[in-house]
Amino acid sequence: MQIAQMQQLLAEREQAGLLRRLKTAQQVSGRVIRYQNRELLNFSGNDYLGLATEPKVVAALQQGAADYGVGSSGSPLVCGQQAPHQALCDEICDWLNVDAVLLFSSGFAANQAMLLGLAASDETLLLDKLSHASMIDAALQHPGGYQRFLHNDLGSLHKLLQKHSNKAVVATEGVFSMDGDSPDLAKLVELCQQYQAPLLLDDAHGLGVFGPEGAGSLAAAGLATDASQCLMANFGKALGGQGGFLATSAVVADYLTQNARHFIYSTALSPALAVAMRQSIQLCRSQQWRRDKLIENIQYCRELSAQFELELLPSTSAIQPLLIGDSHKAMWVSQQLAAKGIWLSAIRSPTVPLHQARLRITLSALQQKQDLKLLFTTLKELL
């Protein structure tokens, strides 16, 4: 593309209030962001359990680097898969009660590998309308094509399953990243089974937050992990790290090992990070107080929303969006909040549909009640 054309497109975006700008924070934690020498309360992160800065996880990373080095130095099938990676996979297998786990450098890559690797070329991918970009991009590349069902609408999915009987793979999320809501997983699994359609589930925002020991959305719905053919989750949310994984059966993992390009042709996770993520999972499993505190904050956030008559989208997760609509207005509110010591990013098109700009409040176990109170009193003043 010519530079002049890029400039024109950038100007158009700016005029529509949709220009994205990178802001460099000095330091980020689950509760506070340090930016331009000021401390702002963080309501935009995904560190749901406060594990990103947990000293034991930090110490594990340091020890991991001392013992194994910083980089894995190769893709998993060459020499990248090392003892800490295997220990992390074993930990996840035990946690989620699955046979096999494959590690990826990001959740984005893991999702792409899952959809592109597991949908056969004569099968249609059926995707929720609000699926994450990583799934949509995979669907766009899938030779068998894709169709989208209405968001969390089992009737809409049912019609597509009838249309593509026995030749469909269903992909959806345990918790939707921009709306914070969830499908009825028990019914969805039943429907997929009725049509023998494999289910591929992204539980990026459910893992660590829901279910016994934080085992995620399937466990919270009383389902075993193998209710989905393959489960994707990442380390960058509740587990406070970076990277992603697929948890599945031995056969599926073996199959993916042959053909998942994001696995085969990409440098394996840092071994130090693998050590840290194992420690993080152990804390996530054993420290129920983190989930209890998060749930308490979620409930308090809903109470404040009712009290201040600032209606949030329906959600029981750590993602509590406040719909604003207009992008310029969402940006303005976000800037005003920042001036008053609150970091709450505006989410705009194309991340969410046009005219559905929102302030996506995200909660963490590290936040205090007074933080939430301040957020809502300030929002009320502004709106």
Ligand X SMILES: Cc1ncc(COP(=O)(O)O)c(C=O)c1O
Which stretches of the chain bind ligand X, using CB under 6 A?
106-108, 111, 132, 134, 173, 177, 202, 204-205, 234, 236, 244
Active site residue 159: no
Bond before 314 cis per omega within 30 degrees: no
Which is closer to ligand X, CB of 361 or CB of 379? 361
Catalytic position from the list 85, 142, 164, 205: 205
* Cα–Cα dist 217/183, whole Å: 10
Is 142 an active-site residue? no
Give the nearest distance from C-beta 28 to ligand X in angstroms: 15
The residue type found at 139 is: A
Please, what is the minimum distance in Å from the beta carbon of residue 131 to ligand X?
Answer: 8
Cβ-based nearer residue to ligand X, 132 or 290: 132
- Distance, in Å, from the CA atom of 213 to the CA atom of 306, rounded to the nearest integer, reads 30
173, 179, 203, 371: the catalytic one is 173
Q: How far is the CB of 159 from ligand X (least distance, A)?
A: 25
End-to-end distance of the chain based on CA atoms, in angstroms?
41
Known active-site residue 328: no
The rounded distance, in Å, linking the Cα atoms of 73 and 81 is 9
**Long-range pairs, 345-350, Cβ under 8 A, ≥24:** 345/44, 347/178, 347/321, 348/17, 348/18, 349/18
Nearer to ligand X, 45 or 195 (CB): 45
Residue nearest to ligand X (CB): 107
Smallest gap from residue 134 Cβ to ligand X (A): 5
Q: Which is nearer to ligand X, 111 or 378 (CB)?
A: 111
Q: How far is the CB of 10 from ligand X (least distance, A)?
A: 24
Task: Report the nearest approach of ligand X to the CB of residue 178 (Å).
Answer: 8
Residue with tokens 């000021």: 38
Catalytic-residue membership of 371: no
Strands of the sheet containing 168-173, edge to edge, are 100-104, 244-248, 230-234, 199-202, 168-173, 124-128, 146-149
Q: Is 205 a catalytic residue?
A: yes
Closest to ligand X by CB, 221 vs 277, is 277
Catalytic residue chosen out of the listed positions 91, 179, 202, 371: 202
**Is 303 part of the annotated catalytic residue set?**
no
H or E element in which residue 124 lies: strand 124-128
Which residue of the set 105, 106, 177, 334 is catalytic? 177
177 is catalytic: yes
Does residue 22 come out as left (phi exceeding 0), alpha (psi in the -120 to 50 range) or beta?
beta
Catalytic residue among 85, 142, 164, 237: 237
What would you measure as the largest C-alpha separation in the chain, in angstroms? 58
Residue closer to ligand X, measured from CB, 345 or 378: 345
Q: Any idea which residues carry the catalytic annotation?
A: 46, 132, 173, 177, 202, 205, 237
